[in-house]
């Protein structure tokens, strides 16, 4: 059987293939915005010393904590620059406040 693939069909296929990842990304950000806020009493949150407000972290109990560390400056934070909350690679399925902190904090690359 002869395959008659036209240039127009190839261009159309390429455009559609290019749109699929873009649609997926917009869906991801919409889902991230709808995530429930992490409850500090969650067992994983407790185990990692999660605090909703980094200013309230007890530095003696958390020797890795340094002033200025917070979820918004962590490599795990998935929110955008101005977002009050965002997803987190550590607490999958939950959002965390920009001003929160946990023991897994790692400097976001610049």
Domain boundaries in the chain?
7-97
Q: Are 75 and 109 within 8 A, CB to CB?
A: yes
DSSP 48-97: TT-BS-GGG--TTT-TT--TT--GGGBTTB-S-TT-SEEEBSSSTT-EEE
DSSP 106: -
Which residue carries 């240039």 as its tokens?
7
For each of the chain's 110 residues, which pLDDT tens digit applies? Answer: 555 667 665 555 555 555 445 444 444 444 455 899 999 999 999 999 999 999 999 999 999 999 999 999 999 999 998 899 999 999 999 999 999 999 999 999 87
Report the pLDDT value the prediction gives residue 17, as an integer from 0 to 100.
52
Q: How far apart are CA 94 and CA 89, in angstroms?
A: 9
Q: Whole-model pTM above 0.75? A: no
Fold category of 7-97 in CATH: High-Potential Iron-Sulfur Protein; Chain A (4.10.490)
Report the pLDDT value the prediction gives residue 68, as an integer from 0 to 100.
93
Burial (CB < 10 A; 0-12, 13-18, 19+), residue 92, is exposed
Q: Are 65 and 57 within 8 A, CB to CB?
A: yes
Report the pLDDT value the prediction gives residue 1, as an integer from 0 to 100.
53
Report the pLDDT value the prediction gives residue 12, as an integer from 0 to 100.
59
Q: Shortest CA distance to 91 belongs to which of 55, 41, 57?
A: 41
């Amino acid at each position: 059987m002869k395959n008659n693939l036209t240039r127009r069909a190839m261009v159309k296929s390429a455009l559609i293939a290019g749109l699929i990842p873009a649609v997926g990304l917009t869906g991801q950000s919409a889902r991230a915005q709808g995530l429930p806020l992490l409850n500090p009493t969650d067992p994983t949150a407790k185990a990692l010393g999660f605090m909703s407000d980094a200013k309230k972290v007890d530095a003696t109990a958390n020797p890795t904590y340094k002033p200025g560390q917070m979820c918004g400056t962590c490599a795990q934070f998935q929110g955008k620059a101005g977002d009050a909350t965002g997803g987190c690679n550590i607490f999958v399925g939950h959002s965390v406040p920009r001003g929160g902190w946990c023991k897994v904090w790692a400097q976001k690359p610049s």
